[in-house]
Amino acid sequence: MSNYTIIAEIEEIPSGERKRIEIDGRRISIFNIDNTYYAINDTCPHKRTAPLIRGKLDGIGIKCPNHGYRFDLETGECNIDSAFNTKVYPIRVEGNSILIDLD
């Protein structure tokens, strides 16, 4: 099952930009890297407090602003320990809308 839901319009997140959304009680960070969108749980799973939206991009990955663990934006894999792998969401564009699959 998929549960694609509109979370933003493309004008809101131009290439190189990012935006955090809150939906269904989840905080999710959306990144636009060279006009490809990625969606990842915003809260770093290491200490469960740091917001990945404030992290530094590293290729197709985001480094946590606290201790620098890197999370792959395509898979959610953590480079330090798989115990900290996190959730990423399928994302697609329809017309001017960005949708993510919340399942």
Q: Which is nearer to ligand FES, 37 or 71 (CB)?
A: 71
The answer to whether the beta carbons of residues 60 and 71 sit under 8 Å apart is no
Segment contacting ligand FES (CB under 6 A): 13-21, 28-36, 63-71, 88-96?
63-71
| 76-13-100-71 Cα dihedral, nearest 10 degrees | 0
Task: Assess 69 for contact with ligand FES (CB under 6 A).
Answer: yes
**Alpha-helical segments (H) within 29-101:** none
Token pair, residue 101, equals 């699959």
Site for ligand FES in 21-50 (CB under 6 A): 44, 46-47, 50
Q: Which residues bind ligand FES (CB under 6 A)?
A: 44, 46-47, 50, 64, 66-67, 69
